[in-house]
Amino acid sequence: MRFDIISLFPESLDPLFSISLLGKARKKGLVEICLHRLEDYLLPGEDIDDMPFGGGGGMVMKGEPIIRAVRGVRDKNLKGEVILLTPQGETLRHRLVCELADLKQIVLICGRYEGIDERVVELVVDREISIGDFVLSGGEIPALAVVDAVARLVPGVVCGKVPEDSFYDGMLKYPQYTRPRVVEGLPVPEVLLSGNHAEVERWRKEESLERTRRRRPDLVQNPSH
Ligand code: SAM
């Protein structure tokens, strides 16, 4: 699985892509993450941004450098998609993450300022994704979220059982405990110390359902999330 990230500040992402699961996955060659500096696609004398037609505050990222960058990095031989990170896109959810994990290349465009020239969307973008109904200053954090969530589904990246994570069976994960048995007077639920695997399993299922009903009733009502 290959990720190509086009950004004005690619160096801001490198430290987080070099540690923990993602860092190890890269070292093992399970995922490839290529960071591309948008300035490298500017023509001599060309600016990265300009004033919006029609007036208004802020600057808009020019389309042509982004289009050049996308066409430069997108490998048409790989099943892939070009994704623009934008608060106006489809919200990133588990179902969408699974869809993306089926691809071999994901090109992510990180916006800045007031956003990017709309013609980029018309010419080279396959999909627009938002990480939630709020506005960040740039697409780098959303890109990180997409890469991290999708990479976890690449076989071999996560050592434990990914299917036990929240959302896989449409539920939130049950509460978890580790040593010591008592923390500030709060004990671990007795059943987890019983050694009875069937009972532990039953307790976990119940807790998972109860937690999901309480915290995310929308998941219970609409399991396609
Ligand atoms: N003016 C734009 C609007 O109102 O839709 C917001 C621009 S925002 C300040 C700059 C960039 O941050 C966007 O182009 C996008 O790449 C990124 N961004 C901000 N919030 C985001 C979100 N919730 N999800 C994905 N990307 C986001």
**Structure confidence by residue, pLDDT tens digits, 205-225:** 999 999 999 999 999 998 776
In a domain, 58, yes or no: yes
- The per-residue pLDDT for 160 is 72
d(CA 116, CA 89): 13
- Closest atom of ligand 1 to CA, residue 92: 24
- Based on the fold, state whether residues 209 and 132 are members of the same structural domain: no
Q: How many A from CA of 120 to the centre of ligand 1?
A: 15
- The per-residue pLDDT for 225 is 64
Whose C-alpha lies nearest to ligand 1, atom 27? Answer: 86
- Based on the fold, state whether residues 188 and 94 are members of the same structural domain: no
- Based on the fold, state whether residues 188 and 82 are members of the same structural domain: no
- Based on the fold, state whether residues 120 and 183 are members of the same structural domain: no
Render pLDDT for 23-51 as a digit per residue (tens, 0 to 9): 999 999 999 999 999 999 999 999 999 99
d(CA 7, CA 11): 9
- For 23-103, list the strands marked E by DSSP: 32-37, 49-50, 60-61, 80-91
- The per-residue pLDDT for 161 is 72
In a domain, 157, yes or no: no
- Based on the fold, state whether residues 79 and 147 are members of the same structural domain: yes
Domain coverage including residue 202? 163-221
- Based on the fold, state whether residues 127 and 69 are members of the same structural domain: yes
Confidence of residue 203 (pLDDT cuts 50, 70, 90): very high
- Based on the fold, state whether residues 17 and 115 are members of the same structural domain: yes
Render pLDDT for 121-161 as a digit per residue (tens, 0 to 9): 999 999 999 999 999 999 999 999 999 999 999 999 998 77
- Closest atom of ligand 1 to CA, residue 114: 1
**Residue 148 is among the residues annotated as catalytic for this protein:** no
- The per-residue pLDDT for 162 is 74
Give the domain-ending residue among 94, 117, 151.
Answer: 151
* Ligand 1 proximal residues by C-beta, below 6 Å: 85-88, 110-112, 114-116, 130-132, 134-139, 142
- Based on the fold, state whether residues 13 and 106 are members of the same structural domain: yes
Number of domains in the chain: 2
- Closest atom of ligand 1 to CA, residue 135: 20
Give the domain-ending residue among 93, 123, 151.
Answer: 151
In a domain, 194, yes or no: yes
Of the candidates 130, 128, 83, the one whose C-alpha atom is nearest the C-alpha of residue 108 is 83
Residue 3: is its pLDDT beyond 90? Answer: yes
- Based on the fold, state whether residues 20 and 114 are members of the same structural domain: yes
In a domain, 202, yes or no: yes
In a domain, 156, yes or no: no
- Based on the fold, state whether residues 134 and 210 are members of the same structural domain: no
- Based on the fold, state whether residues 216 and 142 are members of the same structural domain: no
CATH number for the domain that contains residue 95: 3.40.1280.10
Instruction: Give the position of tokens 């007036």.
Output: 55
Report helix angle 20-27 to 140-151, nearest 10.
60
Render pLDDT for 168-198 as a digit per residue (tens, 0 to 9): 999 999 999 999 999 999 999 999 999 999 9
CATH number for the domain that contains residue 176: 1.10.1270.20
Give the domain-ending residue among 127, 151, 175.
Answer: 151
Ligand 1 test: best mutation among 136, 137, 141, 147, most atoms within 8 Å of CB?
136
Query: pTM, whole model, 2 decimals?
Result: 0.96
- Based on the fold, state whether residues 54 and 8 are members of the same structural domain: yes
Render pLDDT for 86-117 as a digit per residue (tens, 0 to 9): 999 999 999 999 999 999 999 999 999 999 99
Q: How many A from CA of 35 to the centre of ligand 1?
A: 19
In a domain, 37, yes or no: yes
